[in-house]
Structure 1
Amino acid sequence: MRLTKLQMQGFKSFADTTTMTFDSGVTAIVGPNGCGKSNVSDAVRWVLGEQRARMLRGAKMEEVIFQGSSARRAVSLAEVSLFFENEDGGLPVAFKEVVITRRLSRSGESEYLLNGASCRLRDIHDMLRGTGLGADSGIVIESKMIDALLSDRPDDRRELFEEAAGVGLYRDRRRSTERRLEETAVDLSRLDDLLGEVQSQVRSLARQRKRAERHAELTARRFSVELTLASREMAAWREELAQLEVTVAALREQAPGDDARVVAAEGARDAAHEARAAAEASRNELARLTQLQQQHVQELRAEIAVAVERQRNALERRQRAEEERREGEAFGERLNADRVRAREELTSLEGEVEQSRESLAVHARDEEAARAAVTAARSAVEAAERTVRELREQQRRLDLDRESAQRETAELEQRSAALEIERQQLVDAATVLAREIEGADEAIEVARVSVATAVAALEEARAAARAARERDAAARAELGRAEDTYVALEGKVNALEGLERERVGLAPAAARLLRERDRFGEGAVLGPISDFLSTSASSAVLVERYLGMTVHAVIVRDHAAAEAVRSWHASANPGPLLLLPLDAMPSPSGGEAGDLLNQVEAAEPAAGWVRSLLDRVRALDDGSGFVDGRGAVWLPGTTAGPGPLRRRAELSGLRSELLAAGAGRQLAAAAAEEARRALTEADAAVAMATEAANLANGEDRRANDHRAELERRRLRGMRELENAEGLASRLATRQDELRSRLASIEVRTAELQESLGSHGVDSEALRVQAAETERALEAAREHRTNGQVALAQAQARMQVATDRVHRLEQEHENASTRLASLQHELSTLADSDRSLAEQMANWQGDLDARVATLTDVESRLAEAERHVRDANASLSTADHALDQARREAHERESALHHAELRFAELSGRRTAIRERLETEWRRPLEDLLASFEAVEVDDTALRTEAEQLRTELEKLGPVNPLAVEEHEEEVKRLDFLTGQRNDLAEAKNKLQLAIREIDTTARELFLTTFTQVRENFRQIFMTLFGGGECDLRLENPEMPLDCDIEIHASPRGKRTQRIHLLSSGERALVALSLLFGIFLTKPSPFCLLDEVDAPLDDANIGRYVRMLNQFKENTQFIVITHNPRTTTEAADAVYGVTMQEPGVSSLVSVRMRGNTVDEVTPPEMAPEGEVAGAPA
């Protein structure tokens, strides 16, 4: 790969398209100061991807575009192209010529092109990787690099080494990583504080959640229990109501039956019940045994199936192990053969290495002898040559050094003053930051107080909400109880009113007469005597017992009405009937009224008949009988059921209770509404307090963030202050060194002036002798180098052989270990297989026994099922007989009364349950019955459990219904924060590890590069100075990344000393040696030297030219120079740069060695070898 051409357009001072063609060897670029020569080196840096404007001698990247001149406008685009010949395939692209182009417009748009195709800078870097080219490579060597190396500022010198090693990137990464580490530590501290608060909140909410979940669990269980009870009761009531309807219809139409049939039917039913219970018990026991046997059989079959699978897996593993063992034995035999051959090869190579060492020792002794002779000859030549010329030159350079030291002293004083101002500014800034941090601490404290206040207010609001919720629950429970009471009473009243309307309990004939009384004319039939009587519930019992069937008597208007009714009765035959005509009403007796009459109120027009029937009747003390006015004792016996008087008395009392229950329900509803309103207000207060707490927490977080930012700024300021103080200390030290240096320069000047008149000898013979010794040294050095190469090659082959022997031995040992492991595994698998087979045989026997037992139990279970079916059939027959007997029972009237009352009661209770459940659970009953899960236990246990659940809920008290959601949210927040903290902790560890890895990598890169540069520096120094000694040293080898780099050089004939004690020319030559040493660590196809020969005198220029001639066979050199000797002696091609048009650079001449092409001679011509242009 070779550079063939550079093309520039609109780049800096090259406004027009300018093309430079390069051939192998050295190409010189000459021209007066300010003509734009160095813009060529900037163009090379820029096109290869340089991103730092300061490296291009600018403040911003747009300055590389031609800015215009007095006669030209500025251009809008800068473009530079490098052309490479790629015949040898050095670049990994399929082109014989590769063109790299970079464009930049004033709009900031930048573009890279590869052979005219747009690409990324990364693509160019990837292509150039390994070739020594790139923006960070050392292909451009400038004069300012010499100044940086010779500077006493260690940072400038270190920068060149770090660029060569590529350490700068790692330094930037380390600083960035440290900043991120500090930020991560601050964030981690804040997160720990926040985690503590959230964990406390989670623990509190966890307790509330347990109570809420327990409350919800109990409520759900109570819902299931109550709905199960309600569904069962309502299902039973539906059946009972249907049966009651049938029973009532039958009882109204059929005659009374025989009680004996009822007793017989009940006995038969009980016997059938007992028989069925015995059959079911036997059936259940056999079913349990069947299930147990089935479970055992399934378990045994599963164990056998698992064992079969284990046997199959073991067989496959044994087969694999056998195959691996056979392969391992074959592999071990191959390894033994390879190991024997490798040892034989190693023995042969050891002998070859020993022979190379002996030969190298002989060549080294020859070289040492030649070097001693060269040193002696050179010393003599130097002593002769430097008599007057070198002393005068040293005096001149001492004067330059004095001026340089004086200028640097002035610069250091200015920098010290500026640094003191900067340090004071940092101190002031630290003071301001301290005050701001104090203010931030106060703000944090205020925020924490606000948070505590808001949290306390939130807790108070939550407590108030819990109390309101308790009151609301209590009010709703009280309302439910009031609703239940009211609905129950209303059901009873409605039932009794229905019975009253239907005249239930009245004699059938009287009831039928009242239904058909319209046929007798208006007012003919007035109603039963019970309609005109009213009394208390207790008195109604006595009156009904005394009156007996008379209570069913019907009041008629007169005898005519009675005759009409009699005619109807004769034809209809409705049953016994008692009529009481008003015109036949007996007159009252004049005696004292009985106590029974005093207990009733009679209404007109039947009051006379009531007084007549109850006159002078008194009840016995125990209520078992009565005594009338004649002294006769009446013992009525027990009645079949409540009569119309008792029902009316009960209805009157129930109506009074219903009015009271309605008032209580209204009060409970008002209390529930008030409690619900208070709960709504309490929930709103909780929401407001929560929002206030969140705002306070936000303020606290912002205050902490601000405090952390101030702390980071304070730490950054402290570091900057420390750096400024350290720099001030180094500047003071440097000022002291400069003062010592100036004193040393004065002493040296006096010595040189004294020596100028005392030295002068003829040195021609010594020079001839030195040339002969140098040729002998070169020959000896070449022999020694060849010997070193041969030894290194032999040692490399021996090391390869040694590594191969070790690797084969390790592989053989591993193979042996693997074979032993496989043998042990095969033995273990065989033992396991035998044990498993025995166990499977035992399991199979047990399985056969269990299957036989299961078959027997299943047959017995089928027989028990048949017995249960027979018992159920018998029980069904007995139940049917009992129902039939009861329908025919003697007490038909009493049964009818109870059936009708039960029908009304069940209807009311069903309505009450519906209203109660819908009110409590706030859903229609149909939805409730469709959504609950039935509880399969008996009703008694369910009622007990319902009462226990109600008691437990009351004990549990009010709960926070939002606790579950709040706890889940806080747990999610805690998990999120915990994850964040873990991520931060992991990030912190990774950042710390990254810093260590960066330090390790940078240290290794730096030390490797330093070692290479050190070796290259020694070789090039020997070439330039023709001998002498030099070295690079680290001030602190334990900390290579932070210590100073010292350059020691001892030209031929001088003792080892620091470079600042050398002459300017020697120092420049030492710096060139080091720069070329750095360049050779990353050799590239070409190298651009920008005025690096400026400080060299004629003698050192000759050495510099010899070095270029030595390296130009392998590297193209582009030399920007003012020195005519460099141009004439080293250059194979010369370009002249001029500014014939002010502000615009152009090429005016090209001279190829041996040929002149388009030569244009400007008016003012420099000395031979340099082509000059018009003055800038």
Structure 2
Amino acid sequence: MRLTKLELHGFKSFADPTVLTFDHGATAIVGPNGCGKSNVSDAVRWVLGEQRARLLRGAKMEEVIFQGSSARRAVNIAEVSLHFENEEGILPVPFKEVVITRRLSRSGDSDYFLNRTPCRLRDIHDLLRGTGLGADSGVVIESKMIDLLLSDRPDDRRELFEEAAGVGLYRDRRRSTERQLEATTNDLTRIDDLMGEVQTQVRSLLRQRKRAERHAEITTRRFAVELTLASREMSAWHEELTGIESRLGGLRDGVPATQEQVRVAEAARDAAHAARAAAETTRQERATVAATARQAVLELQQQLAVAEERHRNALSRRERTVQERDEGVAFGDRMRGEFEAAQADETQCAEALTAASTLLQERMATEEQSRAGVTAARTAADEADRAVQGLREQVRRLELERETAERELAEVAQRTEALRAEHEALSARLALADRELQAADDVLAGAREQAALAENALDQARATARTARDREAAARADVRRVEEEHTALTGRLAALEGLERERVGLAPAAAKLLRERERFGGEAILGPLSDFIGADTSVAAQVERFLGPTVHAVVVRDRAAAEAIRSWHAETNPGALLLLPLDTLAGAADVDPEDLGSRVRSEGAAGRWVRALLGHVKAVADGSAFVDARGAMWLPAKESGAGPLRRRAELEELRTQLGSIETRRAAVQAAAQQVHDEVVQAEAAATAAADATAAAQQASAQAAQVRNERDRVRERAARELADAVALSEKLAGRHTELGDRVTAGIAAQDELAQRLIVSEQTAASARTLLTTAERAQDEAREGRAAQQVAHAQAEARRQVATERRERIDRERHTAAQRLATLEQELATLMQEVGALEEQMTIWQHEIASRRAVLQDAEATFAAAEEGVRLADATLADQELALTQARRQAEDGAQALHLAELRFAELSGKRAAIKERLETEWRRPLEELLANYDAVELEDEPLRAEADELRRQLEQLGPVNPLAIEEHEEETRRLEFLTTQRADLSEAQTKLHAAIKEIDVTAREMFLTTFAEVRTHFREIFMTLFGGGECDLRLENPDAPLDCDIEIHASPRGKRTQRIHLLSSGERALVALSLLFGIFLTKPSPFCLLDEVDAPLDDQNIGRFVKMLNQFKQRTQFIVITHNPRTTTEAADAVYGVTMQEPGVSSLVSVRMRGPAVDTAEPADAAPVV
């Protein structure tokens, strides 16, 4: 499995489609700071599924999409693809080439593709599992990882080891399990509290049962009594309603006879109205003719103004077009000169490219000759180095064994001293345990005393709560009484409002006219006269008696509206109807304070009619007669029922009473709420006392537990003291044995040192010869690399010149096309100016002709206006005669109105009692009347019994009618809680076991990975430093998952152990050794190194290059670097990243191991120097 290609498009600074091709070995990516080199490593991380924008050097994931530059717009999609060769079938798919693609749009859509087929991120992870690739793998090694390893923060260093070991998943599982355990423990605590509450509730429900049964018996009896009374009342109302219905039939049959008397007067009025309508029609026709002529003049004037404006615009556009044409001619001349210069530049660049290619071939031949000499010298030097290395390994092993023995000897001494201190500490702990045991006894006694006090407080709080509940029951009874009064008033008010809304009691003709008022326009009919009169009940009755049928008159806007209604009346014949036009009264008459007019409120626009009808009229003291200013006395008929004025007065009184009742209701509800709050406070106090009692009992139990724990601590201290004495004796024997081993190691080490000196002299001579050969090879390689760069520069310059010539040629053609377009536009504008001037002359003559027609039409309209005025005078005379005829028909309509009013009143009472019963018993009235047992008593005893039953329910207070069911339910709930507590206890035990199992598995994985990293670290350290020693140690081996990881390193010839005492370059090399050790523990097909060689000097760079050459036979390396030695000595191919265009990265590639030079996409990229 091998990485073959990386494709980028729209990712960060790579705006254009860019392709990087990789072969075996190492590929270097170089370029100046800020050109976008590290964006390549970000792209590899991203396409492998990285979800953390922070690791991609961004705040949010959308920032990986190209954001635009000074010359380019931002793109909407970022896409990266990795191509793998799968000849060995390592990836479990039937393809020899596998392409993994990730795409992100600015809308937030993120897609993954496998061989251009859509898939999920999980599918990518499953495919790469076991290959060493993935978002969390070590495929990318960057410079900040060196800082993490060398950091003083142990968590940063541990994070790299845990990532390699895969322990993070187990840490997440452990945290999740701990949260579940905490939740389970909390559930156990809550369920214990719930069980105590439920047990108390079961006992309380048992006491409520008898009260609920008594309440049910009283409610059943009250239901029978209430329904018996309601049934009797509704039967009586039904009989009266039947009589009213029969009487209404007779009254309605007599209405046509009285209406016939009115029709004769209406016929004469209709003739006058028809004459007036004809005159109005003539006036409107002539007005239309005048308006049409006036509109024609205005339209021609507007068209002329528009034409003048278009003429001015056309002249202005013609001037601008001529100017733009002249500028286009000058621009075309300038482009011809630039095109010829660009052609010459392109020819010169092509000649320079040919010369650079020839010189490059010569430099590559020279490099190949020097490479053969270096190979022979390196073979001899390697043989000498292997001999020296063998002796050094023997010396190192002896040094390591001796130092290990010395270190263990020091540790034995330290441990002995620590045991003496521990002996003293254990004695002090034993004395402390005795004192703590005595203190625990004192705490236990105090806790038991507090528990007794808390129980007394609980009894007092429960007594207070019972008293508050009794007061709450009385307050609720007051609320119910006020609610009943409010319901009765609301029912009466709703019935009257319904009658008022339906205009019940209003004369039939007036009611029909109001229903069809939209036929005459929204403002023509203002409403019945009664809507404009306001008074209290007594005055309203006097006004109704005085006005008689006039109270049913309808107020209209003016005479014209009255005429329109008269035509409708003649067509429909609805009955007698009185109209009061507002424009027939010149002004308001003076009103005497004793008149009826001063005792009413004139509301709205009809106030003048109210004052005209009721002014100068006084009522006799008993209201049986009325006298006007002339002394005439009016004796009205006997009252037959309430009219619309009295109904409106009663509505106002009911609304006032309803407001008072609502105020009372709010007061009693507030009082009930206050008592309820006191109940809640009392119950809360009782609950708090119960909690305090439980807390005191729990504190007592905890104090007993603490005392037992102190006793166990004392016994444990005694055992540990005995163990410490035994261990001290064992350490003394070990100290003597280690001293003998140190003496023997020193003698063997001196002998090997003499042999090592001779071998090192031989190896030094061989290395001198190798250095000379390598220097010659370096000079040849540098010459070849410089020529390759020059060749790439020449190619880039030729490409730029070609593109410049093509761009200038396109601009020349565009300018020529624009010039032709401007000539056409100029000709069109000249034609448009001529046409407009001709049309303006025609319209000016037409305006003069139409103004003469307008003067004739206005004279004819004035004559038609005079005809309408004469018709209005005739119509007014006929209207007065019709009014007198209609008054005679009002008496019959009044009798019909009174009967209908009584019928509506009884219907309202029946609806109110139906609503009250259905609201109280929450069932339809028909169902209530069909399911009650009638009581055989007179009405008065029944009403008395109903009041007594209501009083008994109030005394009984609120009860729980579901006490029996709730008691059974709470009992079942208590059983369920008991079972649930057992399940939670079992779950708690299993969670403890799961946490222990997770710890064991994570510990084993971490220790296994740690051992492998430790082995690889030592091997790579020897390769980079050519000797010395290194090691990884756990600060506390007994707790590997939580302790710090220490790095010890001593380069050859140094005795330093701690890496903080090394130079910066040596520390960086140690960190690289460890990073490669982690990488080899979890290897992947390729490794990307992002500027990890930045801190290394020339000597350490040589070691780093040697390591790359050693490992690149089995792993592909992509190295992002600034160092020329890394590029020339280790890289098989080099990619240069530049920003020739600001903000946009481009590539140029140079093949280091072959005869040809490859240019990466895009082709116009500039080379890296």
TM-score, normalised with respect to structure 2 = 0.35
Larger Rg: 1
